[in-house]
Amino acid sequence: MKIIIDTDPGQDDALTILLALASPEIDLLGVTTVSGNVGVEQATTNALKTVELAGRPDIPVHAGADRPLLRAPVNATHVHGRTGFEGADLPAPAVKPSPEHAVDFLIRTVMAHEPGAITVCAIGPMTNLALALSREPALRSRLGRIVTMSGAFSEVGNITPCAEFNIYVDPQAAAIVLESGVPITMLPLDVTHTLHTSAARLARIRAIPNRIGPVVADWLAFEKRFEATKYGTDGGPLHDPNTVLWLLRPDLYRGREVNVRVETGSELTMGMTVVDWWQITDLPRNVLFLRHCEVEAAYEVIIDRLGRL
């Protein structure tokens, strides 16, 4: 399957890219970056470091939106550290990002392929996708699917009491994407909070006999310090990799088609995903909303794939 990863790396974003590059089922056409966990310039540097770490400097990296559509930028350096890659010190990338803007790359690449051929994994704020859909409405019928780590239902929020970070950073962009008519799979906090990065699981990743395992373990150990303190655990939720994991093993996840809307008008609940789980309205079911995962099997996939790099 052909995919593009739209991202704001972030340690777990990097793991998502690595899983894609380790999987022969996936043809990663490129990485697009967006302001989110860190600013877009740092996110682009981190994406370049990741493809080089995987031995794939041929994967193009395209810098995208440097701020949300309407709101002031919000970052997550309190979780990921100043650079977004704290925990493992990687050398500066030797390759440079593509000069083509991420939005232009998204439009050009999707339009150059047959309808339905490309899936976008959106693991940061959806600013680039919203801009691309607005500039080229034909993408609405050309994109195969958007698989996004975003939103929440029973797990409510992780950046405000009722909003998940990726949606909160650019709720207007998320609303455009969710209303686009493109098939969407959403991996919300309801799933990611079950994939606990315990000390035992990180030890297994660290023991992978290549250079990738220790780097990923160090990254996640740093990133999850904040969440371990927050939740009173020995690790934290594993978020973004669920997108690629679902592409590889959809049988590990369960959910249902529902309507999901994004709150964009209230500062109190800004970025909240309103999930019509019980089909109370007659609004179109625009999202495959996943709430359950076979956790142990998912970690087996992660360990297996990282061992191939």
pLDDT in tens, 168-224: 999 999 999 999 999 999 999 999 999 999 999 999 999 999 999 999 999 999 988
Nearest to 152 by CA among 144, 138, 162: 162
pLDDT in tens, 224-274: 887 778 788 888 899 999 999 999 999 999 999 999 999 999 999 999 999
Identify the weakest region by mean pLDDT among 13-27, 77-91, 97-111. 77-91
pTM for the complete prediction? 0.97
- Examine the pLDDT at 55 and tell me if it is beyond 90: yes
Nearest to 85 by CA among 73, 77, 93: 77
Helix (H) or strand (E) holding 254: strand 253-262
* pLDDT of amino acid 111: 98
* pLDDT of amino acid 226: 79
Nearest to 128 by CA among 156, 157, 153, 148: 148
pLDDT > 90: what percent of the chain? Answer: 95
DSSP strand pairing (184-187 vs 253-262): unpaired
Average pLDDT over residues 30-35: 98
CA separation for the pair 206, 240 (Å, rounded): 19
Helix (H) or strand (E) holding 275: strand 273-276
* pLDDT of amino acid 247: 98
Catalytic site residues?
A: 239
For residue 237, list its beta bridge partners. 196
Mean pLDDT of the residues in the chain = 96
pLDDT > 70: what percent of the chain? Answer: 100
Q: End-to-end CA distance of the chain: give it in Å, rounded.
A: 19
* pLDDT of amino acid 197: 94
